[in-house]
Structure 1
Amino acid sequence: MSNKSTHNRDVREFWYPKYNKNGYPHLQQAFILNPERNKEFSPFILMAEDWFKRGVFADHPHRGFQTVTYVVDGRLEHIDNAGGYSILDAGDVQYMNAGWAARHAEEAYDDDLIHTLQVWLNLPKSLKKTETSYQNIRVEDAPVVNIAGGSVRVYSGDIAGVTGPMKSLVPITMSEITLREGTEYTHVLPENHNAFIYMLAGEMEFGESHTKIGKTGAATLSFIEEGSELNPSELKIKASSRSKVLIYSGVPIREEIALGGPFVMNTQEEIKEAFRDLQRGVYGPPAVKNN
């Protein structure tokens, strides 16, 4: 029997984002995770929160990473140049592996005002040239674990005794936790996962320090990078009011990273190659809706 004690997670740092009011049609935007700090957040590169009308994220390319898009409100229309089309509603999530050459559009459907949270999730060098793929996780298909005073909805990973449906090339966990006021809950994650939280509603206390974080607050958590995927760690949570939080985690990718517009590669030369390939038509035709 192992005498190793379970790591009790705590808040490393927390902050509230600064929102930019951009005007019509991209009404409001913020980086919840700033891409300039991507090494701290690895395997996550950024998280963007956006409110927008139609015409903001029309046809565009990607290479070298994955996206995880959570619809907070409104309807999100997805179009890709492989013939894919779908409409996602509040609580739905879309996973995309951009891989070698994605070209798609993410638009507000009809006259909706759409509110989304999109995470960019890195790919290791060995997977940056994989085939492009998309997966829609409908809110009703993400298993829900009912707990005393609340619930845990699992989109990805093995959490609370269930497995989320997301098939990410770089395994992550993604959970939405809803608690009534006064409820206490212990969230279990692999000890070697780098994790962050984002508050959707209310106020909660986190970790050994009982750090209070309210709506729109984000935080990174302590972890044991040299630890094992098989060893659990625990994050203590208490709801100060009726609350909802998203928690993401994954194993850091310790490789060089180069960011360039819609591309995430390992070197600046690879970024230049991605732009040359776009000009050469490698990404295929534009992503437009077929009437």
Structure 2
Amino acid sequence: MMKMSKFQREVKKHWYVDYNEMGFPAIQKGWVLPADRWKEFDPFILMAEDWFKKGTFTDHPHRGFQTVTYVVDGRLEHIDNAGGRDILEPGDVQYMNAGWAARHAEDGVEDDVAHTLQLWLNLPKDKKKSETIYQNVYGEQAPVVPFEGGSLKVFSGDLAGVQGPLDSIVPITLSEWTMAEGSEYTLDLPENHNAFLYVLAGEIEAGENEVILKKHGVATLSFNEEGEGASQITIKSNKRQTKVLVYSGRPINEDIVQHGPFVMNSMEEIKQAYEDYRNGKFGPPAE
């Protein structure tokens, strides 16, 4: 019997992040995934790249979605009103399921400038009031798969024969690729996962159509939402010290309303979230 070939992913769209200077203690922000294109990115809502100092993201609430925060540089202190407190270093990841009522703070440490990538990941309607969960995944806890000229670090999902430790309510994959000039690697991803990549350093050729992307380049990848098999994404490094993040997740296909710190399915639910917060249902401040 002839073996069926795997779906080969191409770069569908690509762009570079624009950055804006911010008012102190925030420093700079860019939208890796702009929020107004969430239908295109489903199940992902947005991704922000931020540089900030202590005092920027003090106590605030969330409801109805998840976050995956990757620390690029500096140190990030997490505080939540359930008693959680930790400091994340470069290469660490924090996962939060806001669920029905998260209240936390994310801040730079001492005089550090924290540089982070925060991804907002949707929750299906029946899980928007799930339990609030925080999970820190330190860089050294993520399994590493070596290949010629580089390595793959798996934070989430079953990839390259290893399982990442991040355990999200909506299953996703997250991998960090570190590559020398000339190295090339092909990774299997679920065929029905929507996926994107972000170039943190260096230069790559990505996908079957070999699109060139430099630092701060973003690309969405072709996928087959009705497929049940595996697909492949191939990335080649054109520069030394190339680093790329690849994310994937299965679309939820539900309409959402994102307003401030809340992501729900209707404006009425957004109004209810604000009312619950004003009435103290999110608990005491995170401090």
2 CA distance for matches of 1:50 and 1:210?
Answer: 29
Superposition misfits of 4+ residues, deviation over 2 angstroms? 1-5
Could you report, residue by residue, the CA deviation over 1:31-60 in whole angstroms, capped at 9, with x for unpaired residues? 100010001001000000000001110000
What is the correspondence of 1:181-200 to structure 2 with a 5 Å cutoff?
A: 181-200=181-200
Q: Which residue of 1 aligns with 2:257?
A: 258
1 CA distance for matches of 2:147 and 2:3?
Answer: 29
2 CA distance for matches of 1:65 and 1:5?
Answer: 36
Please state how far the C-alpha of 1:145 moved relative to its aligned partner: 0.5
Q: 3-state SS of the aligned residue for 2:153?
A: strand
1:237 aligns with 2:239: no
Could you report, residue by residue, the CA deviation over 1:115-172 in whole angstroms, capped at 9, with x for unpaired residues? 0000000000011011101000000000001111100000000111100000100000
Q: Which residue of 1 aligns with 2:104?
A: 104
What is the correspondence of 1:25-40 to structure 2 with a 5 Å cutoff?
A: 25-40=25-40
2 CA distance for matches of 1:133 and 1:22?
Answer: 30
2 CA distance for matches of 1:73 and 1:270?
Answer: 36
1 CA distance for matches of 2:34 and 2:41?
Answer: 9
Could you report, residue by residue, the CA deviation over 1:79-100 in whole angstroms, capped at 9, with x for unpaired residues? 0001100000000000000000
Please state how far the C-alpha of 1:22 moved relative to its aligned partner: 1.0
Please state how far the C-alpha of 1:209 moved relative to its aligned partner: 1.3
Please state how far the C-alpha of 1:2 moved relative to its aligned partner: 6.7
2 CA distance for matches of 1:284 and 1:221?
Answer: 40
Q: Which residue of 2 aligns with 1:88?
A: 88
1 CA distance for matches of 2:2 and 2:32?
Answer: 38
Could you report, residue by residue, the CA deviation over 1:170-193 in whole angstroms, capped at 9, with x for unpaired residues? 000000001110111112101000
Q: State the Cα RMSD in Å.
A: 0.8
Aligned residues between the structures: 286
Amino acid of the structure 2 residue aligned with 1:263: F
2 CA distance for matches of 1:87 and 1:183?
Answer: 33
- TM-score, normalising length from structure 1? 0.97
Q: 3-state SS of the aligned residue for 1:87?
A: strand
Q: 3-state SS of the aligned residue for 1:38?
A: helix
Amino acid of the structure 1 residue aligned with 2:82: A
1:76 aligns with 2:76: yes
1:286 aligns with 2:285: yes
Q: Which residue of 2 aligns with 1:274?
A: 273
- Where does the alignment leave 5 or more consecutive residues of structure 2 unmatched? none
2 CA distance for matches of 1:178 and 1:100?
Answer: 36
Amino acid of the structure 1 residue aligned with 2:236: K
Amino acid of the structure 2 residue aligned with 1:149: G
Q: 3-state SS of the aligned residue for 1:59?
A: strand
2 CA distance for matches of 1:145 and 1:13?
Answer: 28
Amino acid of the structure 2 residue aligned with 1:181: E
Please state how far the C-alpha of 1:249 moved relative to its aligned partner: 0.1
Q: 3-state SS of the aligned residue for 1:30?
A: strand
Could you report, residue by residue, the CA deviation over 1:238-265 in whole angstroms, capped at 9, with x for unpaired residues? 1111211000000001011011100000
2 CA distance for matches of 1:279 and 1:125?
Answer: 23
2 CA distance for matches of 1:22 and 1:92?
Answer: 25
- Where does the alignment leave 5 or more consecutive residues of structure 1 unmatched? none
1 CA distance for matches of 2:268 and 2:4?
Answer: 45
- TM-score, normalising length from structure 2? 0.98
Amino acid of the structure 1 residue aligned with 2:274: F
More displaced, 91-100 or 20-29?
Answer: 20-29
Q: 3-state SS of the aligned residue for 1:58?
A: strand
2 CA distance for matches of 1:245 and 1:110?
Answer: 29
Q: Which residue of 2 aligns with 1:24?
A: 24
Q: Which residue of 2 aligns with 1:202?
A: 202
